[in-house]
Amino acid sequence: MKRFCKGGSVSPENIKPLSIVPNPANQSVTLRWETAQGGTLELLDAAGKKVLQQKIAAGANSTLVTIDTLPEGLYFIRFSGNTEHLFGKLIITH
């Protein structure tokens, strides 16, 4: 079984959870993943609208994301790396 995402299909074995700390959060969050790699990070609101996108440098395994200007609510985080795709949920509170 394959899941579809932007840019093609992804095998389930290549989909992994993303570490999000703290969660819930109000100022910023640190995102971590196991395999050091570059890619694209996207933050989507509950309706699926992209509210943030940033490129991640090759060799990275974490990044800090500032969220203090975003409204409270549920968000989805998608990291499309060179070798894997990571997903997570984030709750923003102020």
**d(Cα 23, Cα 84) in Å, to the nearest integer?**
22
**d(Cα 60, Cα 51) in Å, to the nearest integer?**
22
Residue 63 has a CB neighbour count (10 Å cut-off) of 16
pLDDT digits (tens, 9 = 90+) for 48-77: 999 999 999 999 999 999 999 999 999 999
Residue 54 has a CB neighbour count (10 Å cut-off) of 11
Band the pLDDT of 3: cuts 50, 70, 90: very low
Altogether, the residues listed in the chain come to a count of: 94
Domain ranges of the chain: 13-41+69-94
**d(Cα 52, Cα 64) in Å, to the nearest integer?**
13
Band the pLDDT of 12: cuts 50, 70, 90: low
pLDDT digits (tens, 9 = 90+) for 71-94: 999 999 999 988 889 999 999 999
